[in-house]
């Protein structure tokens, strides 16, 4: 089982709640950074704590959600050793892990159903990094 940090903005609270319920049911340890409101909030306030947990190795994986998932993806990827991947299809979630060794899945709540978001999260967590030819590429991602 994994330690997983999760966060979202106001556009994704329902998705976040469903994903947390799924993760806990599967036995994962979840750190929830919210938001728990549909009132407008700033997505970086929720993306940075999740990315910081990955950077500090407090969590194995992260889950971030916002309307398009672009904002949370851009924010999380500012952190060293974070590889946040925007996933809107199951195959993208698979490839993000297999080829990019992504450690945060970013899901666009306005463009996915709750069932899809749970499926993508499950796929992401259950897919291993292939290494091999991808290892060298992944090692070139960080600027530091």
Give the pLDDT of residue 88: 97
- The residues annotated with a catalytic role in the active site are 66, 99
pLDDT tens across 4-19, in order? Answer: 999 999 999 999 999 9
Give the pLDDT of residue 142: 85
pLDDT tens across 103-142, in order? Answer: 999 999 999 999 999 999 999 999 999 888 999 999 988 8
Give the pLDDT of residue 83: 98
From residue 135, how far is each of 12, 76, 78, 121, 140 by CA, in Å? 33, 21, 20, 23, 9
Give the pLDDT of residue 144: 63
pLDDT tens across 44-63, in order? Answer: 999 999 999 999 999 999 99
For residues 144 and 28, which has the higher predicted lDDT (pLDDT)?
28
Q: What residue spans define the domains of the chain?
A: 3-139
For the CA atoms of the chain, what is the radius of gyration?
14
CATH of 3-139, one of 3.40.1400.10, 3.20.20.450, 2.40.40.20, 3.30.43.10: 3.40.1400.10
What average pLDDT does the segment 60-74 reach?
Answer: 98
Give the pLDDT of residue 110: 98
Query: What's the burial of 120, exposed, middle or buried (CB within 10 Å: 0-12/13-18/19+)?
Result: buried
C-alpha distance across the termini of the chain, in Å = 30
If pLDDT is split at 50, 70 and 90, which confidence band does 37 have? very high
pTM: 0.96
């Amino acid at each position: 089982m994994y330690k997983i940090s999760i966060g979202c903005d106001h556009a994704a609270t329902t998705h976040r709640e469903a994903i947390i319920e799924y993760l806990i049911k599967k036995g994962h340890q979840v750190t929830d950074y919210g938001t728990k409101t549909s009132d407008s909030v700033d997505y970086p306030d929720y993306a940075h704590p999740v990315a910081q947990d990955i950077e500090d190795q407090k969590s194995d994986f992260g889950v971030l959600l916002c309307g398009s998932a672009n904002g949370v993806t851009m924010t999380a990827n500012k952190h060293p050793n974070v590889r946040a991947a925007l996933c809107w299809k199951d195959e993208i979630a698979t490839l993000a892990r297999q080829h990019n060794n992504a450690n945060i899945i970013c899901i666009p709540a306005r463009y996915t159903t709750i069932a899809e978001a749970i499926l993508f999260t499950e796929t992401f967590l259950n897919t291993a990094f292939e290494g091999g030819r991808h290892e060298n590429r992944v090692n070139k991602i960080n600027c530091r």
